[in-house]
Structure 1
Amino acid sequence: MQRYALLRHTGAPDDPSGCHFDLLLEDGPNCRTWRLATVPQLNAEAQPAVPLPAHRKVWLEPRSAAVSGNRGWAERIHAGSYSGVLPKATDADVTLQLEGDLQGCLRIAAGRCSLSNP
């Protein structure tokens, strides 16, 4: 099974709110990543999911560290594994099953992210 992680990212210069969350999905040598405003909650309304450049797999491990390029601080707050197939196209809809700290059916479609019962 592939791994996922959710990072709390504070102090990013391009984030006016001062805090957001990066959702990382292991994808070969890197992680496909989206910026979320809040931690996904089971059966809550879908929230905006902004695609970000690929992140290094080191962020899948427990850590809290400065982000390169003086872009704030990140801390892994949730992690686990996922099943399903991550589409090859980075702009395609994603539907995966999460296990671990977050559990349920993760869906990223039309720029929005939701977590629902399996």
Structure 2
Amino acid sequence: MSDPPTALLRYSLLRHTGAPGDPSGYHYDLLLEDGETCRSWRLPAIPPLNGTSQEATPLAPHRRVWLEPRSAAVSGDRGWAERVMAGRYRGTLPADPDAAVQLELVDGALRGQLRITAGRCSLTPP
């Protein structure tokens, strides 16, 4: 008997501007739906397919409302965020938030195998 198909969950990429202490003036927040919240990482750029891996800094969980199309002020006077990409992913996030992540982004502007491990993020073809 085969395993049941994995449900597709949502991902979102936010462009975050005006964050205090952000030397470049903007960064991207990658959000992966995880139950009632989203696991989140700060990225310096949109992950390019087959590009060089980039830094991925873990962030506190984000609210799921950020998975919806929106542009709004970030709480605590921490700048402005706007959803710039979104889609769905297949896979399971590890229970340990510090463990490596390997998922498939199946639709939306970003598609491919997403890997986040040892503070680095990469996107390769499926």
TM-score where L is the length of structure 1: 0.99
The alignment status of 1:8 with 2:15, answered yes or no, reads yes
Q: Pick from 61, 64, 67 the counterpart of residue 57 of structure 1.
A: 64
Counterpart CA distance in 1 for 2:49 and 2:37 is 26
Q: Which stretch of structure 1 is more off in the superposition, 98-107 or 4-13?
A: 98-107
TM-score where L is the length of structure 2: 0.92
The alignment status of 1:67 with 2:92, answered yes or no, reads no
Give the Å deviation of 1:16: 1.4
Give the Å deviation of 1:104: 0.2
Runs (5+) with no aligned partner, structure 2:
1-7
Runs (5+) with no aligned partner, structure 1:
none
For residue 66 of structure 2, give the secondary structure of its aligned residue in structure 1. helix
Amino acid at match of 2:11: Y
Q: Which has the larger radius of gyration?
A: 2
Instruction: Give the share of equivalent positions with the same residue, in percent.
Output: 66
Q: Counterpart in 2 of 1:116?
A: 124
Give the Å deviation of 1:28: 0.5
Q: How well do the aligned residues superpose, as a CA RMSD in angstroms?
A: 0.5
* 1:55-114 CA distance string (max 9 Å, x none): 000000000000001000000000000001110100000000002210000000010000
Amino acid at match of 1:106: L
Counterpart CA distance in 2 for 1:63 and 1:14 is 24
